[in-house]
Amino acid sequence: MPNALIVTALLLGAFVLLAGVYGLLYSLGVLLERPPLKSAGYFFYLLHFLLMLTIVFATPLGPWWKLLIAASAIAYLAIPPLTWRHLRRIHRNEERLHDSKPARRAARTLAGMGRGA
């Protein structure tokens, strides 16, 4: 392990960093509605995945740790779309509540009060 210490550590750091770049580009792609950014995100995920394979096959970490890293690579793939969907859903629910009849009635009342003033 000593000889592979620095390389393994750098690979592990890059593993998380590339997941972050994937998440960043994916989110920007969805936010700005720019498919190339989203594709760039997937490209970085591919790099992340390749890095995971490198860690699994070329580092002296134990088999359980390698399994954990492989599993977390799958989790990293899912986090940006799931998080985005969750955020969008709770915001949509909120807007729906806001646009509901009682809320609209209250808004009309408030607007009327404003005109009266």
Site residues (CB under 8 A) for other proteins? Answer: 1-2, 5-6, 8-10, 12-13, 15-17, 19-20, 23-24, 27-28, 31-32, 60-62, 64-65, 68-69, 72, 75-76, 79-80, 83-84, 86-87, 90-91, 93-94, 97-98
DSSP characters for 40-93?
HHHHHHHHHHHHHHHHHHHS---HHHHHHHHHHHHHHHHHHHHHHHHHHHHHHH
The distance of closest approach from Cβ of residue 84 to other proteins in the complex, given in angstroms and rounded to an integer, is: 6
> Tokens 């646009």 map to which residue?
99
Q: Closest approach of Cβ 99 to other proteins, in Å?
A: 13
